[in-house]
Amino acid sequence: MLRSLAQSLRCAGWRQLSLSHVRRVSEVPLTAEHYNVTRGDYAKVSELDLQEFTSILGSEGVITDPHDVGPYNVDWLRIVRGQSSVVLRPRTTGQVSKILSHCNQRRLAVVPQGGNTGLVGGSNPVFDEIVLSTSLMNQVISLDETAGILVCQSGCVLEQLDGMLAEKGLMMPLDLGAKGSCQIGGNVSTNAGGLRLLRYGSLRGNVLGVEAVLADGTVMDCLSTMRKDNTGYDLKQLFVGGEGTLGVITALSILTPPKPRSVNVAYMGCNDFEQVKRVYTTAKRMLGEVLSAVEFLDSHCQRVVEQYCHLPNPISPSPFYALVETSGSNDEHDKEKLNSFLEYIMDEGIIQDGTVATDLTKVKGLWEQRERIAEALLLDGVVYKYDVSLPLSVYYNLVEIIRERVKDVARCTVGYGHVGDGNLHLNVVGDTHSTDLLNLIEPFLFDWTASHKGSISAEHGLGFKKAQYIYHSKSSIAVDFMKNIKKLFDSNNILNPYKTLP
Query: Is residue 156 a contact residue for ligand FAD (CB under 6 A)?
Result: no
Candidate list 187, 427, 449, 457; residue touching ligand FAD; CB under 6 A: 187
Q: Contact between 137 and ligand 2HG (CB under 6 A)? A: no
d(CA 316, CA 268): 9
427 binds, among ligand 2HG, ligand FAD, none (CB under 5 to 8 A by kind): ligand 2HG
Nearer to ligand 2HG among residue 279 and residue 374 (C-beta): 374
Q: Is 192 a residue that touches ligand FAD (CB under 6 A)?
A: yes
Residue 473 and residue 459 in contact, taking contact as beta carbons nearer than 8 Å: no
Rg (CA), the chain: 23
How many residues lie near ligand FAD (CB under 6 A)?
A: 40
Of 300, 385, 403, 466, the one binding ligand 2HG (CB under 6 A) is 385
Q: Does 73 bind ligand FAD (CB under 6 A)?
A: no
Phi, then psi, of 328 in degrees rounded to 5: -155, -165
Q: CA of 356: how far to CAs of 46, 172, 278, in Å?
A: 60, 24, 18
97 membership: H or E segment, kind and range: helix 93-106
Would you give the distance in Å from CA 147 to the centre of its chain?
Answer: 27
Q: Other C-beta atoms within 10 Å of 329: how many?
A: 12
Report in angstroms how near the CB of residue 357 gets to ligand 2HG at its nearest: 19
Burial degree of 206 (CB within 10 A; 0-12, 13-18, 19+): buried
Q: What's the min distance (Å) between Cβ of 265 and ligand FAD?
A: 16
State the nearest-atom distance from the C-beta of 414 to ligand 2HG, in Å. 9
Residue 316: Cβ-neighbour burial (10 angstroms; 0-12, 13-18, 19+): exposed
431-490 positions binding ligand FAD, by CB under 6 A: 459-460, 463
Cis, peptide link before residue 443, omega less than 30° from 0: yes
8 Å CB contact between 59 and 70: no
d(CA 194, CA 466): 19
**Helices 444-451/397-405 angle, 10° precision:** 160
Closest contact distance (angstroms) between CB of 195 and ligand FAD is 6
The verdict on 297 binding ligand FAD (CB under 6 A) reads no
Q: Rule CB under 6 A: is residue 427 a binding residue for ligand 2HG?
A: yes
Q: At closest approach, how far in Å is the CB of 172 from ligand 2HG? A: 16
- Report the nearest approach of ligand FAD to the CB of residue 466 (Å): 11
Residues 218-277 that bind ligand FAD (CB under 6 A): 243-244, 248-249
DSSP string across 162-231: HHHHHTTTB--S---TTTTT-BHHHHHHHT---TTHHHH--HHHHEEEEEEE-TTS-EEEE----S---S
183 in contact with ligand FAD (CB under 6 A): yes
Long-range contacts of 105-110 (CB under 8 A, 24+ apart): 106/43, 106/49, 107/41, 107/42, 107/43, 107/492, 107/494, 108/42, 108/43, 108/44, 108/45, 108/49, 108/494, 109/40, 109/42, 109/493, 109/494, 109/495, 109/497, 110/494, 110/495, 110/496
Does 178 sit near ligand FAD (CB under 6 A)? yes
Min. distance of Cβ 365 from ligand 2HG in angstroms? 17
78 binds ligand 2HG (CB under 6 A): no
Alpha-carbon distance 396 to 390, whole Å?
9
Return the residue of 93, 95, 97, 116 that touches ligand FAD, per CB under 6 A.
Answer: 116
- CA 246, 251, 257, 261 dihedral sign is positive
For residues 347-376, which are near ligand 2HG according to CB under 6 A?
373-374
Q: Which is nearer to ligand 2HG, 326 or 369 (CB)?
A: 369
Site string for ligand FAD, 355-394 (x = CB under 6 A): -------------------xx-------------------
Nearest distance, CB of residue 135 and ligand FAD, angstroms:
9
Contacting residues for 473 by C-beta, under 8 A, at least 6 apart: 450, 454, 455, 456, 457
Q: Binding segment for ligand FAD among 25-33, 180-188, 299-307, 448-456 (CB under 6 A)? A: 180-188
Site for ligand 2HG in 160-179 (CB under 6 A): 177
**186 near ligand 2HG (CB under 6 A):** no
By CB under 6 A, residue 123 contacts ligand FAD = yes
List interacting residues with ligand 2HG (CB under 6 A): 177, 373-374, 385, 387, 417, 425, 427
List interacting residues with ligand FAD (CB under 6 A): 2, 76, 111-119, 122-123, 134, 154, 176-178, 182-183, 185-187, 189-190, 192-195, 243-244, 248-249, 374-375, 459-460, 463, 496, 499
